[in-house]
Structure 1
């Protein structure tokens, strides 16, 4: 067991003074067994404050990932621990935990020194107590679904080591978030959950995909899990469909639990199917039938349909050719989605990797949505925060898919689709060979689109480092002995035969992930001492120890540009602008908005619409010529909505700075069979910098009143007002 000192900050207020107890030895998180279920010990409210205090005193700089890994808690719990600790420091009239660039946290020296003075010692040992209400609520639902005997307030309070009132509040929270047809009732043995068996199973399936609660996952694993892995590999060979590594693990975990559940209680067999029934493949139907026979479960069409829906909804590495895909217009939808994304984003993306990945993903998304199988993105809030504008553009792009299904995608499904458009200028082409000269093994288990999104993100940020193409676990096992990489970055836990350092990150990296990646790359020598990122972090850390930095992110950007030799660093304002995402109001200023009554051809109209950008040296004339040639070749594909054309091309040396202009045509022009009344010009200098403005434009196009104003205004003042209010 891990050993270390623990400071106890439980306080008893006497006037303005506080008395504190300090514990010498704390034996950290261990393993206990309750009813043959392996549980991770976690700790009560006051103990998490003590643990975090000790951890901060023993370390100079910490990020959220460090706390997650040290105490085996979720990211949400880590933030909750920090909040609790800060509240305790407020009571003690000490400075709070400070935050640096790249989500690094540290205790101010005065606070750290003050805490060191409390050195009375006492042993402490706290058994199981789930530290936040969300984990407890999930477990309560799990116990109810599992039909645990005697699920009562007293037993739950004892199990979680919380008060009875806390359990009452937890159960009320459970009731508020249950599906409408679910109900918690009381009987002589305690509490029971009444509801649809299919919905209960789907809730468990969702928990498996989120992988948030180790108790639930551990209880589901066992001998049946290993058996199901083998059977799923057999299904892959027979159906010629390859599941992603994440999907393979999810299917094995969920199916092993579900089959065992029915085997132990045959009354839980489904007796109905959803309204939408997907046509079945003989290979899949036979596989399910054999599986049910192995578990001695009566074969019914409703159960076969349920298991088939689960299999069809699992993410695949390649395009799945299930029976229902024969009538699914995947290619048409992919073409329409990519075309719409290109027309509104200012990007030009259409590589084989993107098309194949998007096609495979649409098939599984269609199945999930139509069969009512929920998908949850574990890092949805991070995606919403870091890729908000990109999600808006993706929402616009996928409308043909939603129209086909007659359903709207959830935020979680939309977040996953957003990853396919995460990089917009330099998509990697697929390769059938592996380059052995790599510095970092990259293992991604979540499918084609997210795999290449992760690779492209890392290659852009660390251009001097050689990353492998995204590998599956099987590819990694085969290549690891042959290639001596210095680091392994993976989206799933991996076992290695060598002593190569490894790091687990999200497929859409967060700030915390990048902080961990920076640290790992420095440790193995892939980022040298003169690396701009390291030097920036070092300088920020030194400054922060002595002075308060009013705007850490702005200073970090300027230092990064300075150390990297970025020419933009010569102009401090440009350093800020390169990371700023201006709104459409900032870009379409009155001097960039014009109305013309001249009768023009479509080429003349485009040339005239770019005059503000040409005169302001935003673009070269060759940029305008490039756009006209593309329209001549491909037709009016840049029309984003009836009458509105977004004239744009990809970022290049022909563009000197980010800009937009607008020309309203009182005499509309014809381009093929399309009529154009409004031309909006876009000069995208840097990738993603223009996404906020495009997101604002989409808001205008989707608002009927604003859209009518945009295409029918005869006065410049109306358009200026429209953009000012966007």
Structure 2
């Protein structure tokens, strides 16, 4: 027996693998350790991190065969860690904070000495950790209070459960090592959830299903204590999906819990989890479908993109179903990359925030920026897909459990880190199994892939940490997947220079090292010199493109013609582009009117656009758009003419303009302007 780690189940894993003379499947490891699939992956990952830190080869997984410990590692473990004293596990600050909150929620009283002894940290570090935990709990309506026997948690039972659920949504959360897994109960829970899926026709993504399994396992143990149960409600009527509630009542009854409030709670949790397939005949999803289409139309209108409603409608509706329940039951979603998306993908976020208003009207509330950021990734993925469908070559496949959700977060981060490497759209396992792999150089997956292929596979978290990025970078270097920032001539030139002054012992190794170094240097950000020049909006919308009309124009068609006149004069567009906009408005009604008297007049690049351009017309006398075929009438006072050259080149300027348009005070100011100079000043 060896004692290498203090990670829960870690030594059990190593000792089991040490006794095996052949490969071990994941199912065998799950059974041996008594853990869920996710819990087993967690232990494997943490043990491999410690092996790597100890300069030992990690536990390997031979695709399609199983797990094994390399022979050299076996020898080292048996020689150095047999019958040794337990080692202290090293936790990151984030992990320590999660464990502190977990202990408090599970009714442990804590003192500073408890924390310093458990984590082997100083008193000052323990105080800092407690401060961080208090700040994180505050966002859930929870607090830490001091009592005679130590520190305890204060706050509602629902809030404490919501914190646990949110923490478990992180696939790499350390909490998975804290849940005592009973394999037979876990299988029973999973079986019952699958029954619910068949009843409702709504199927959960693999990640959501795994999270539900572990959360419900913890939840059932928690409510065994009567003080943890919610007060039983005498009401038996609810407007929540009745099938989920009925399922919850029976499920809890089978577990000797007879409390309608708890059944109602579990029904809420079930419905807020992410689906990958929904029952299209369900009344609620039928209501959401047209809302999704309207959202996509608004996104296209404001962004000038050409996202196909047919391609995105079902995926977006599937996502919005769980979003609806999260908003209805006030279960917060916290996006782990919110700042990255709002800053790095500002235009995408801005357009999405405008586009989702029909859904906000439906739920009679506002979505948080975290929820908007998640929806924005769907549009970002579809814009990327449009480029891919134009015949763009793909070198790297991105694979996840369902092809939706957090996989888009991973894909967008990969694109941001490696903008010149061609990544696929996120693929589900089914899509991956049916994919042509002939020209693929690397596969990056958020899940275990048991389909044997000759292509290297890198498995990372949807939110890669530092080690994940190092693994990805190493895979790119080994696969000669550079970011196209340098050419092979640079490598050859350096090799020639080195060979003139030194003997090269390992030519291939040095070549790969130079490629990796040059690729890394190429990705270093260039130092930007401060600029006081015009913004992209000012460049695209100079004063020569702004018109103020104090004369009364007789109809809206003339208004559109007048608004786009500066673009016609400079030959940025042709007359047929103006005619196309007028025709689209006659046929489809005033769908280009954004609201608040503002119209975004635009067509597609193929309708007669010669070059990128934007114009603006302010009317002193508003005009109404109306025609006999459409009952909808809209009054307009500001017309923005947009001539997009492609899907993206106009986004920065349009995003800046959209931020202004959504400011009611700014709109009032520009409507009160009486000259081109005033309008231009307001735009700058």
- When normalised by structure 2's length, the TM-score is 0.72
The corresponding residue for 2:174 is: 214
Contact 2:540-2:613 within 8 A present in 1 as well = yes
Which residues in structure 2 correspond to 1:215-294 (within 5 Å)? Answer: 215-217=175-177, 219=179, 221-223=181-183, 224-263=185-224, 265-271=225-231, 279-281=239-241, 283-294=243-254
**What RMSD over aligned residues (CA atoms) do the two structures have, in Å?**
4.9
Q: Give the deviation of 1:413 after TM superposition.
A: 0.8
Contact 2:381-2:425 within 8 A present in 1 as well = no
Find the residue that maps to 1:385 and give its secondary structure: helix
Deviation per residue, 1:112-171 (Å, 9 max, x gap)? xxxxxxxxxxxxx97324232x332221110111223x5322121011111123212322
The corresponding residue for 2:590 is: 636
Which residues in structure 2 correspond to 1:185-200 (within 5 Å)? Answer: 185-187=145-147, 189-200=149-160
Q: 1:349 aligns with which of 297, 307, 310?
A: 307
Q: 2:356 aligns with which of 380, 388, 398?
A: 398
The 1:192–1:451 alpha-carbon spacing in structure 2 relative to 1, beyond 3 Å, is closer
The corresponding residue for 1:307 is: 266
Q: Which runs of 5+ in 2 are unaligned?
A: 15-44, 50-85, 495-512, 627-632
Q: Which runs of 5+ in 1 are unaligned?
A: 1-26, 41-68, 74-124, 432-436, 557-579
Contact 1:351-1:427 within 8 A present in 2 as well = no
2:6 paired with 1:32: yes
The corresponding residue for 1:532 is: 484
The corresponding residue for 1:151 is: 110
Partners of 1:550 and 1:482 lie apart in 2 by 28
The corresponding residue for 2:399 is: 443
Contact 1:353-1:449 within 8 A present in 2 as well = no
Find the residue that maps to 2:573 and give its secondary structure: coil
Contact 1:353-1:428 within 8 A present in 2 as well = no
2:445 paired with 1:490: yes
Partners of 1:144 and 1:506 lie apart in 2 by 27
Q: Give the deviation of 1:506 after TM superposition.
A: 6.9
Q: Give the deviation of 1:497 after TM superposition.
A: 4.2
The 1:484–1:690 alpha-carbon spacing in structure 2 relative to 1, beyond 3 Å, is closer
Q: Give the deviation of 1:197 after TM superposition.
A: 1.6
Contact 1:346-1:650 within 8 A present in 2 as well = yes
Partners of 1:286 and 1:704 lie apart in 2 by 46
Partners of 1:243 and 1:299 lie apart in 2 by 26
The 1:35–1:532 alpha-carbon spacing in structure 2 relative to 1, beyond 3 Å, is closer
2:326 paired with 1:368: yes
Partners of 1:582 and 1:396 lie apart in 2 by 22
Find the residue that maps to 2:277 and give its secondary structure: coil
Partners of 1:33 and 1:545 lie apart in 2 by 36
Find the residue that maps to 1:445 and give its secondary structure: coil
The 1:500–1:660 alpha-carbon spacing in structure 2 relative to 1, beyond 3 Å, is same
Partners of 1:601 and 1:375 lie apart in 2 by 47
Find the residue that maps to 1:364 and give its secondary structure: helix
Partners of 1:620 and 1:161 lie apart in 2 by 72
Partners of 2:444 and 2:523 lie apart in 1 by 31
Find the residue that maps to 1:619 and give its secondary structure: coil
The corresponding residue for 1:173 is: 132
Q: Give the deviation of 1:545 after TM superposition.
A: 8.0
Q: Give the deviation of 1:695 after TM superposition.
A: 2.5
Deviation per residue, 1:550-587 (Å, 9 max, x gap)? 9954699xxxxxxxxxxxxxxxxxxxxxxx99532332
2:546 paired with 1:593: yes
The corresponding residue for 1:330 is: 288
Q: 1:127 aligns with which of 88, 92, 95?
A: 88
Moved more, 224-233 or 587-596: 224-233
Find the residue that maps to 1:665 and give its secondary structure: strand
The corresponding residue for 2:557 is: 603
Q: Give the deviation of 1:466 after TM superposition.
A: 9.3
Contact 1:185-1:191 within 8 A present in 2 as well = yes
The corresponding residue for 1:503 is: 458
Q: Give the deviation of 1:594 after TM superposition.
A: 1.6
Contact 2:398-2:444 within 8 A present in 1 as well = yes
The 1:303–1:483 alpha-carbon spacing in structure 2 relative to 1, beyond 3 Å, is farther
The corresponding residue for 2:55 is: none
Partners of 2:7 and 2:620 lie apart in 1 by 77
